[in-house]
Amino acid sequence: MNTFGRLFRLSTWGESHGPAVGCVLDGCPSGLELTEADVQCELDRRKPGQSDVTTARGEPDSVEFLSGVFEDRTLGTPVSMLVHNRDADSSKYRDFIYKPRPGHADLAWRMKYGHVDWRGGGRSSARETVGRVAGGAVAKKILQKHRVQVVAYTKQIGRVKSGEVLDSSMKGVADLIESNPVRALDVDVARSMVDEVKVARKKGDSVGGVVECVALNVPPGLGEPVFGKLTADLAAGVASIPGVKGVEFGLGFDSASKPGSEVNDEFTYAGGVVRTTSNNSGGIQGGITNGMPVVLRAAFKPTSSIKKRQHTVDLNLKKNSYIQVEGRHDPCIVPRAVPVVEAMVNLVLADHMIISGNIPRKL
Amino acid sequence: MNTFGRLFRLSTWGESHGPAVGCVLDGCPSGLELTEADVQCELDRRKPGQSDVTTARGEPDSVEFLSGVFEDRTLGTPVSMLVHNRDADSSKYRDFIYKPRPGHADLAWRMKYGHVDWRGGGRSSARETVGRVAGGAVAKKILQKHRVQVVAYTKQIGRVKSGEVLDSSMKGVADLIESNPVRALDVDVARSMVDEVKVARKKGDSVGGVVECVALNVPPGLGEPVFGKLTADLAAGVASIPGVKGVEFGLGFDSASKPGSEVNDEFTYAGGVVRTTSNNSGGIQGGITNGMPVVLRAAFKPTSSIKKRQHTVDLNLKKNSYIQVEGRHDPCIVPRAVPVVEAMVNLVLADHMIISGNIPRKL
Amino acid sequence: MNTFGRLFRLSTWGESHGPAVGCVLDGCPSGLELTEADVQCELDRRKPGQSDVTTARGEPDSVEFLSGVFEDRTLGTPVSMLVHNRDADSSKYRDFIYKPRPGHADLAWRMKYGHVDWRGGGRSSARETVGRVAGGAVAKKILQKHRVQVVAYTKQIGRVKSGEVLDSSMKGVADLIESNPVRALDVDVARSMVDEVKVARKKGDSVGGVVECVALNVPPGLGEPVFGKLTADLAAGVASIPGVKGVEFGLGFDSASKPGSEVNDEFTYAGGVVRTTSNNSGGIQGGITNGMPVVLRAAFKPTSSIKKRQHTVDLNLKKNSYIQVEGRHDPCIVPRAVPVVEAMVNLVLADHMIISGNIPRKL
Amino acid sequence: MNTFGRLFRLSTWGESHGPAVGCVLDGCPSGLELTEADVQCELDRRKPGQSDVTTARGEPDSVEFLSGVFEDRTLGTPVSMLVHNRDADSSKYRDFIYKPRPGHADLAWRMKYGHVDWRGGGRSSARETVGRVAGGAVAKKILQKHRVQVVAYTKQIGRVKSGEVLDSSMKGVADLIESNPVRALDVDVARSMVDEVKVARKKGDSVGGVVECVALNVPPGLGEPVFGKLTADLAAGVASIPGVKGVEFGLGFDSASKPGSEVNDEFTYAGGVVRTTSNNSGGIQGGITNGMPVVLRAAFKPTSSIKKRQHTVDLNLKKNSYIQVEGRHDPCIVPRAVPVVEAMVNLVLADHMIISGNIPRKL
């Protein structure tokens, strides 16, 4: 259950306040050029302390390869990657042992497992996503060899929404996203988003948002009917990210209120190739890619850890109580969730390209 | 890839215009009382021709048990169920062999598989969901023994939206839903929804909608971190339903724009048991159930088959062309999708209750 | 658990005395020429009543395709195949409801599932292998397109053992096997084997034996370290056949007593290609094929149903008792097990060739 | 493919001459008392340099827990375990880059993956089994809580065979096995076995052998028909161990030559419980345990690395050549394979006990 994928399989492990977090990536084709730097640059995009709108936990998040790579090429064997936890601080968590934090998995976890890791968020912490980003970085490297490019960005933070993507080629977009602390496509909107986050933090509160992800040059024919549809696998991958409360493709929920004549993507020949004149389906029809860009969005709830006083219970005293969640928390998880969404999409696409035979087992 | 689930596993098979559709349900506990009537009543809710807002294809959809049940009890062996296709009519489809229908999987399927089933929608037809509903009926029977009740209903059709559920006990709701042709909770709203469908059909167009699903009495502790989260499995199951373009849990996409202090569900003691005072999380925290009702919504796009003239291509002549999709199609798939959403949720919950040990292998 | 394979997956269903048995084959490449006759000819090799050394149960075992094949080619969708049980006779089994038959799974099954199918062997009957042979026939068709040929034959029945295969090209071997009722390679030995079976039957007893299986032209590189080794998958597939008590590869158990210098297969260039000068490894090294013939053997225990009086218990009266198992049983299962072993090997090889990319998803 | 199990899942990683080897154990119940010492004692039984009949590679094989255990109890999250490679010496392997070693996977691996780890055996080295033994130690701990005891021992080395087990209670057997360097049940036979190994080594040769494994107090009802039979899962697990060329259960290959009346295990009441008067089935009937001891044997081929001169090819010069495999190798792998066989059996039984509901997810 801590493993994702069919032939290209990622298993992640690690608690937020244990000695380390990491992952094992199985089914990676052999012969892929891969160095720790390829993975490190993605981890750097996810790591805490990047800007003044993220948590202050100071983790270098340096990755070590333990297996699967030799002479800077993959062997076809499992790639084991490890990241030490350097700045774990459990002092703030002692108070919460018997007081489940609203919005968190504390109580659900306790009911399921009994034995509780009071040192911190444990396995339900978003720190778990380190392994996903590490694995996703390898998937990205594979996909790049086949020109598939996956880019995610912040579409909404709190009440501030970004407009549409202008240029379908996505040229320069990757840099643009990294040029602002919230990873938005529009620098002006980014400023408003930063304000939205700062206002919330000032109030001891938090905000959520929406991440949009686009995959370009995805070959047609990916996705397996009927339960292995690409939508199903993407939905599972993205919905498994901490904080995600919704996933949609193409027009998504908006397609519910529109007539078929406006939603159907019509076909036309363009340069000898059949294309659709719109992309309301988000590049996936009947669960199978049609060669158009794959487009999805994920809704993130606001960070659960807030300094505002909230009602909770004291499981020890068995009575109602209050809680104020101090500690180093992101007031908005969305900017750091962008590379995590990318990672999951990269993982799904690499897996399906291997399943469909688009990527050989030996590169 | 035509199999869904981990220990309680449903494999479906069959094309819309082949001799039959069906499924094999593996991992069903032994000793469950089960008759064909238990399955038939759910298939009747899904079958075509129920009302004047659904397709006129006349399928009795009678289920036959081929294995796994003896003396009206399950054996613990695979339950093979078969439904003959009685009213398949391929005459309308001959025109579409080289003309992919906009919104359909025709072209994506052709690019993936090469060999095309021109008789009809084939495997990508919603007729495939017969097997899901049959399997889901067995899951429902198992869950009922543990008081878990799953109810779905139409929340939105086109631009007509229904209000909130009034009574959290859901008493009488199952009957209410079946009392109107669109399976809405509110009879007045249902009338407007029917109008919305009829207006669209009159124009040769179609409409989409939203199905909401609530599961009551779900025990806490279901869901497996991190990739087997209940949200991930539900998202995969629901996103695999034909026509679904989005899935959300609890507050869903609305949680993106609200502050944490309004989204977090606070805890309180109620009758000695810890409950949350709101249910914005939709009963799932960190991917694990917390004992509150599980709530999700699925967005369905409008039916792709419309009589309005649309642009398409002629793959034989290799030039642009037009198409008008005649035939017997639902102008809105949502009312018949309600039991399909229920089926997928029942399947996921039964699977997780078996995995978690809440349901024994021998009843 | 009734599903076998990774990408090329067979699910079987059905009880020996229920209405039918069958299977669903998922992951079959599209575009494969396939007719019911391709499957029927393999089922005919497995069916009862072929000769005077097999059971007299008279089953035509006619296969029907229910899905996945259109215009005599596979669609890439699940191939559902059904075989009706025509000659089920439960009259002999009533006596055994409370008397577990020695050697059979009756008691183990009862302890596991509680609810018992007293009509006959049920799911633990070798009749379950109909689905395997049907699925294996499709795998065989796929492999033939890639020149891979799988041939099994009877190596031993009771105390009668056959010599070595003379001609490594296996030319004419398939016909030779079918020319005698025990499917041995040597017609003279076959006669002794028939006698061995008849003598046992006359005594109201039964005999076991060994089936050897050779796969020619298997491409190198099949098999996935470390738990997906070809040996592991073949062992699982073959050990799952009813009555199998042992599986070995190449030299097998004999390699335990020989020195490395006699067991190691040395390498040499032959026509520009590296070959081994012996094949003690059975074509698999480190779990991966090396291009040499794959060789395995399966040990079958004697049929459990014998007319001789045996000790058993009466679970109803809770006391010791006796049993004589009347009915129509094979005195030796080995001749009919030959196509079942072939089927499992064909299934494993087809699956691994798809996983390794040797066989495309679209033919 | 580097993952084993269904709900209790072990993923292993690591190359013999890389920085480390290890594993991730997923699906371990929460609340299990577990320390590194529990795992270390099993690794010590597998580690090199134990006696003068094993390799001289000096590895402390110290295990580190990286996740999944807190306050000496499992959390229900993945248990990540790491063992550093301390004494890797690649100097001897440089010669073999283009000269595949007979009996080894060198050539098969090269054909499959292209990119070759010339530093040593890599992933196909038996060093990979460190992860299996670590995972198996946790399985053993779980099984002990349910009185299930798994003991393996050396049954044969080269031409020296051990007699039958005398005492079915297996009391003191675990200590007895550890009292001699070959892990035999009979101290006198052990001496002959040691001689057999030493004679072979002196000649620059190697020997194989047979490991027998017995599991006591296994509850009835484990094993899932039809492809998840306990025999199938055990066969897969054991056949995946490096060097295994055969697996058999109970009477195994000997049952092929005996009549049914001698092979069938008859039933009798013993103290109110139904038992069999013999155990030729090895405790498994129709793939399901019947409460009798589970008995299996694995045949190991002689170590492939021998100092004797052997024919091989030079892939660089593309001509026939010779090889003498120097380095630190076990002349017989069997004594160190004993804990590996135990590990695989422990893993399979723990998995099936969780699947069958005998072991809860929360201890």
The pLDDT assigned to A215 comes to: 97
Q: Which residues of C touch D302 (CB under 8 A)?
A: 255, 258-260, 263-264
Confidence tier at B91 by pLDDT (50, 70, 90): confident
Cα distances (Å, whole numbers) of residue B165 to A241, B151, B178, B184 = 29, 12, 16, 11
Average pLDDT value for residue range C82-110 = 88
Q: What are phi and psi of B351, to 5 degrees?
A: -60, -50
Nearest to B200 among A112, A255, A259 (CB): A259
Q: Within an 8 Å CB–CB cutoff, is residue C80 touching chain A? A: no
> What pLDDT was estimated at residue A167?
59
Residue B84, min C-alpha distance to chain C (Å) = 9
Q: Does A28 touch chain D (CB under 8 A)?
A: no
Average pLDDT, chain D: 94
Contact A164, A295 (CB under 8 A): no
Task: Name every residue whose Cβ is closer than 8 Å to that of residue B195 and which is 6 or more positions away in sequence.
Answer: none
* Residue D339: its H or E element: helix D334-355
A-chain residues near C288 (CB < 8 A) = none
Distance from CA of C120 to the nearest CA of D (A): 14
pLDDT digit string, tens, across residues C299-347: 999 999 999 999 999 999 999 999 998 877 889 999 999 999 999 999 9
Q: Which chains touch B (3 or more CB pairs under 8 A)?
A: A, C, D
Predicted confidence at residue B124, as pLDDT, reads 86
Residues C285 and A110: their CA atoms lie apart, in Å, by: 47
C window 122-181, beta carbon within 8 A of B: 122-123
* Alpha carbon of C73: minimum distance to chain D alpha carbons (Å): 28
C-alpha B149/C-alpha B156 separation (Å) is 22
Element (H, E) at A211: strand A209-216
Whether the pLDDT of residue A118 is over 90: the answer is no
Q: For residue A222, what are its two tokens? A: 């990916």
pLDDT over 80 (residue B167):
no
Over range D297-321, report the average pLDDT.
96
Q: Does D285 or A118 have the greater pLDDT score?
A: D285
User: Closest partner residue to A80 among D22, D27, D77, by Cβ?
Assistant: D22
Task: Specify the pLDDT at position D120.
Answer: 80
Least trusted range by pLDDT, from A36-40, A60-64, A231-235, D161-165: D161-165
Q: Is the pTM of this model over 0.95?
A: yes
Question: Which chain A residue shows the shortest CA-CA distance from D118?
Answer: A70
Closest CB to D30 among A3, A82, A113: A113
Other C-beta atoms lying within 10 Å of the C-beta of residue C339 = 26
Q: What is the dihedral of CA C249, C250, C252, C257, to 10 degrees?
A: -160
Cβ B227–A251 below 8 Å, yes or no?
no
D132-143 per-position pLDDT tens digit: 999 999 999 999
Q: What is the pLDDT of residues D202-235, one digit of tens each?
A: 999 999 999 999 999 999 999 998 999 999 999 9
Contact D77 B225 (CB under 8 A): yes
**pLDDT for residue A168:** 67
Residue among A245, A249, A298 at smallest CA distance from B250 = A245
* Amino acid residing at B186: D
D327 pLDDT above the threshold of 90: no
- For position B26, what pLDDT does the model report? 98
Percent of chain D beyond pLDDT 70?
A: 99
Judged by a CB distance cut-off of 8 A, whether residue B361 touches chain D is yes
pLDDT for A333-347, tens place per residue? Answer: 999 999 999 999 999
Inter-chain touch B311–A277, beta carbons under 8 Å: yes
State the nearest Cα–Cα gap between D80 and chain B, in angstroms: 15
Q: List the single residue in B with minimal CA-CA distance to D29.
A: B356
Count CA within 13 A, CB hemisphere, residue A184: 21
**Average pLDDT of span A319-343:** 93
- Among the residue ranges A305-319, C105-119, D81-95, the one predicted with the least confidence is D81-95
User: Which positions in chain A touch B105 (Cβ < 8 Å)?
Assistant: 285-288
Question: Between C216 and A49, where is the model more confident?
Answer: C216
Residue of B nearest to D27 (CA): B224
**Which residues from chain D sit within 8 angstroms of residue A110, using beta carbons?**
none
Flag whether pLDDT at A282 surpasses 70.
yes
B21 touches C: beta carbon within 8 Å: yes
Domain range summary for chain A, segments of one domain joined by +: 3-356
Q: Compare CB distances from D122 to A21, A75, A80 and report the shortest one's residue.
A: A75
Q: Which carries the bigger pLDDT value, residue A342 or residue D330?
A: A342
Phi-psi domain of C170 (left: phi exceeds 0; alpha: psi -120 through 50; beta: other): left
pLDDT band for A50, please (50, 70, 90 cuts): confident
pLDDT tens digits, one per residue of B220-259: 999 998 999 999 999 999 999 999 999 999 999 999 999 9
Q: What is the pLDDT of residue D292?
A: 95
Is A6 within 8 Å of chain D by CB? Answer: no
- Nearest CB to C261 within list D3, D248, D308: D308
What top-level class would CATH report for the domain C3-356?
alpha beta
pLDDT of residue B165: 61
Out of C158, C238, C258, whose CB is closest to D302?
Answer: C258
Whether B358 contacts chain A with CB within 8 A:
no
pLDDT of residue B55: 76
Contact check, Cβ <8 Å, A107/B228 = no
pLDDT(C56) > 80: no
In the structure, what pLDDT confidence band is assigned to residue C170 with cuts at 50, 70 and 90?
confident
Q: Is D19 on the interface with B (CB under 8 A)?
A: no
The torsion angles phi and psi of A12, rounded to 5 degrees, stand at -110, 155
Contact with chain D for residue B63, Cβ under 8 A? no
Chains that touch A (3 or more CB pairs under 8 A): B, C, D
How many whole angstroms separate alpha carbon D177 and alpha carbon A59? 48
- pLDDT (0 to 100) of residue C329: 83
Residue ranges of C 93-122 with Cβ closer than 8 A to chain D: 100, 102-105, 107-109, 111-112
- Asked whether residue C350 carries a pLDDT value surpassing 60, the answer given is yes
Q: Give per-residue pLDDT as tens, C299-310.
A: 999 999 999 999
* C-alpha closest to that of B132 among B352, B339, B354: B339
Q: Is A36 near chain D, with CB under 8 Å? A: no
What pLDDT, in 10s, does the model give residues A253-270? 999 999 999 999 999 999
Nearest CA in chain C to A226: C77
C-alpha pair distances (Å), A212 with each of A296, A299, A300, B244, B286: 6, 9, 11, 18, 22
pLDDT of residue C167: 58
Residue D273 near chain C (CB below 8 Å): no
D77/B357 CB distance under 8 A: no
pLDDT of residue D166 exceeding 60, the answer is no
Alpha carbon of A174: minimum distance to chain B alpha carbons (Å): 23
CB contact set of B271 (below 8 Å; sequence gap of 6+): none
Quote the pLDDT of residue D285. Answer: 96
C76 touches chain B (CB under 8 A): yes
Q: Are strands B69-70 and B73-74 parallel, antiparallel or unpaired?
A: antiparallel
> DSSP labels for D253-284?
GGGGGSBHHHHSPPEEEETTEEEES--TTTTE
B77 three-class SS = coil
Token digits of residue C152: 């099994």
pLDDT at D168: 67
CA A347 to CA A224: how far, in whole Å? 16
CA nearest to D74 within chain A: A115
Do A66 and D75 lie within an 8 Å CB cutoff? no
pLDDT value at position A71?
95
Of C68, C113, C117, the CB nearest to B13: C68
The number of CA neighbours under 13 Å toward the Cβ of B10 is 29
For residue C355, the chain A residue with the least C-alpha distance is A355
Predicted interface score ipTM higher than 0.90? yes
**With an 8 Å Cβ cutoff, are A236 and B238 in contact?**
no
DSSP state string for A227-290: TB-HHHHHHHHHHTSTTEEEEEETTGGGGGGSBHHHHS--EEEETTEEEES--TTTTEETTEE-
CB pair distance less than 8 Å for A7 and C355:
yes
C286 part of contact set with chain A, CB < 8 Å: no
Given a cut of 80, is residue D167 above it in pLDDT?
no
For residue range B100-123, list pLDDT tens digits in order: 999 999 999 999 999 888 888 889
- Looking at the complex, does the CB of residue D242 fall below 8 Å from at least one CB of chain A? no
